[in-house]
Amino acid sequence: MKNEKQTEKTSAKGYLTGKEIREIAKANKREIKRLEKYKNRKAKVEEFSTKMKNPDNILEIEDLNTYFFTEQGVVKAVNGVSFDVPKNATVGIVGESGCGKSVTSMSVMRLIQGPQGQICSGSIRFNTAEEGVVYDIAAMPIHEIHRIRGKQISMIFQEPMTSLNPVFTIGQQLDEVSFIHSPGISEEDAKAKSMELLNLVGIAMPERVYSAFPHELSGGMRQRVMIAMALIGNPRLIIADEPTTALDVTIQAQILDLLRDLKNKIDGSILLITHDLGIIAEMADYVVVMYAGRVIEKGTVDEIFHNPLHPYTIGLQKSKPTLDSASDTLFNIPGNVPNPINMPNHCYFKERCDKCTAKCSGAYPDMIQVSPTHYVACHLYGKEEQNG
Ligand SMILES: Nc1ncnc2c1ncn2[C@@H]1O[C@H](COP(=O)(O)OP(=O)(O)OP(=O)(O)O)[C@@H](O)[C@H]1O
Ligand code: SF4
Ligand SMILES: [Mg+2]
């Protein structure tokens, strides 16, 4: 894209001239117009219907690119991300702040804030509850997203207080979701469903919570309510973005237990986003490690924890506090993530890596398969090393 070249050109100077700012704005406007037109087009269902590569997966994300067109240039928040979520499995996404975990999940829900934020390319294949019906969410016109958002895929956010409306009771907000997903449902049936779900998420006095306002509940109760709300449409996939970060450790453990339990009850899958490796170890079957908008390693929880390969994943493991550590200081990965507007052409981790070789100044490393389920993008594991 032309505006990418412009930001590269300006990086050497470290500032943008007025002319360059105008050029970026013009290129952004053109690109946004094209993508908005695609997003709002009318399309027949066949145009966004597709096939799963593996029918045992519920979600397949392939080469997803989600960008933000800013005044300074293009932020490639999600840059060629690919991973699968198998049926009845929990997949954890880990990585430090700003690596693109939330933008990936918001892309799946088509909640990227436009016009600045846009899904530019790639596929998000979702295996619906209907036998053989698969949608490419990335190719769906935005007005078709009601087919899956909130029904087949729902999301639990980090801070329930910002997701609940303070002026309505919990009951009103839960019932409202039933009215949206099941048009024609009676008020009694909507209430019965809300009460059933409040019970399911372990709320002891559902009647009291039903008539309470959000501020009258504790943080843990509010998060349970959010989980109940996410379950109303009978989702097959729940995306939980840092669902326990705002809670203390005891409540955190209860909410994680609840999620694990629910996954089995709804016979679905969970995409769990967190920067807490402990939560991943406890909850996930598969792990996706992201760094600066890219997947740098993915595999089963066993592979990532017992045989981490990428120097960043190894660093993440080392920076986790342990009770038996001899040292009284925590390991930290030195350096910073590169500027997202001006990513280097080589490995994004190079400036922070202690295993760097001459090869690392070359092209960005390809994703290499090291076992049927384990993949890594690092020159230390190139094709020759595999053969050797
Ligand atoms: N509206 C926006 N405009 C510009 N850049 C954005 C916008 N929203 C997100 N980004 C950028 O996208 C990148 C990925 O952000 P994201 O929120 O996905 O990070 P994250 O991995 O979820 O981090 P955290 O752990 O802090 O939640 C960041 O570099 C961020 O600055
Ligand atoms: S490619 Fe090179 S710089 Fe990048 S993580 Fe691997 S060893 Fe380090
Ligand atoms: Mg986030």
- Ligand 2: residues whose CB is within 6 Å? 310-311, 347, 349-350, 353, 355-356, 360, 365, 378-380
Q: Is 73 helix (H, G, I), strand (E, B) or coil?
A: strand
- Region 161-188: mean pLDDT is 91
Is pLDDT of 388 > 50?
no
278 Cα to the center of ligand 2, angstroms: 25
Q: What is the pTM of this model?
A: 0.91
CATH architecture of structural domain 2-152+235-387: 3-Layer(aba) Sandwich (3.40)
Q: Which residue minimizes the CA distance to atom 26 of ligand 1? A: 97
pLDDT at 140: 97
Q: Which of 67-76, 203-212, 240-249 has the lowest mean pLDDT?
A: 240-249
Q: Which residue has the higher pLDDT, 12 or 213?
A: 213
343 Cα to the center of ligand 1, angstroms: 15
Most informative mutation of 297, 361, 379 for ligand 2 (most atoms within 8 A of CB):
379
Name the percent of the chain lying above pLDDT 70: 91
Strand 57-70 relative to strand 117-127, pairing:
antiparallel
Is pLDDT of 122 > 70?
yes
Q: Which residue minimizes the CA distance to atom 17 of ligand 1? A: 102
- Region 144-156: mean pLDDT is 91
Task: Return the domain boundaries, the chain.
Answer: 2-152+235-387
Average pLDDT in the chain: 89
Helix ranges (H only) for 67-169 are 101-108, 160-163
Q: Which ligand is nearest to the CA of 348?
A: 2
358 Cα to the center of ligand 2, angstroms: 10
Look-up of token digits 């779900």? 197
Q: Which residue has the higher pLDDT, 137 or 160?
A: 137
- CB burial readout 279-315, b (16+ within 10 A) else e: bbeebbbbbbbbbbbbbbbbbbbebbbeebbbbbbeb
- Tell whether ligand 1 has an atom less than 6 A from the beta carbon of residue 311: no
pLDDT at 383: 63
pLDDT at 321: 65
Tens-digit pLDDT profile for residues 356-374 = 999 999 999 999 999 999 9
Tens-digit pLDDT profile for residues 289-347 = 999 999 999 999 999 999 999 999 999 888 766 656 566 666 677 777 788 888 889 99
How confident is residue 12, by pLDDT bands cut at 50, 70 and 90? low
The segment with the largest mean pLDDT, out of 272-281, 283-292, 309-318, 343-352, is 283-292
- Region 275-296: mean pLDDT is 94
Is pLDDT of 380 > 80?
yes
pLDDT at 134: 96
Q: How far apart are CA 101 and CA 240, in angstroms?
A: 11
pLDDT at 262: 83
- Tell whether ligand 1 has an atom less than 6 A from the beta carbon of residue 77: yes
- DSSP state at residue 111: -
- Region 55-66: mean pLDDT is 97
CA torsion 216→221→225→231, rounded to 10°?
-170
- Region 242-266: mean pLDDT is 83
Q: State which residues have CB under 5 angstroms from ligand 3, the bound ion.
A: 102
Q: Which ligand is nearest to the CA of 77?
A: 1
275 Cα to the center of ligand 3, angstroms: 9
Tens-digit pLDDT profile for residues 77-116 = 999 999 999 999 999 999 988 999 999 999 999 999 989 9
Q: Is 59 helix (H, G, I), strand (E, B) or coil?
A: strand
Atom index in ligand 1 nearest the CA of residue 101 equals: 21
pLDDT at 7: 46
Most informative mutation of 24, 71, 96, 103 for ligand 1 (most atoms within 8 A of CB):
103
Q: What is the 3-state secondary structure (H, E, C) of 317-379?
A: HHCCCCCCCCCCCCCCCCCCCCCCCCCCCCCCCHHHCCCCCHHHHCCCCCCEECCCCCEECCH
Is pLDDT of 387 > 50?
no
pLDDT at 151: 87
Atom index in ligand 2 nearest the CA of residue 359 equals: 2
Atom index in ligand 1 nearest the CA of residue 95 equals: 21
pLDDT at 2: 47
51 Cα to the center of ligand 1, angstroms: 30
Q: How far apart are CA 208 and CA 225, in angstroms?
A: 13
The tokens describing 8, both together, are 């590269």
Most informative mutation of 102, 118, 342 for ligand 1 (most atoms within 8 A of CB):
102
- Tell whether ligand 1 has an atom less than 6 A from the beta carbon of residue 117: yes
Closest CA to 367 of 83, 57, 4, 51: 83
pLDDT at 290: 96
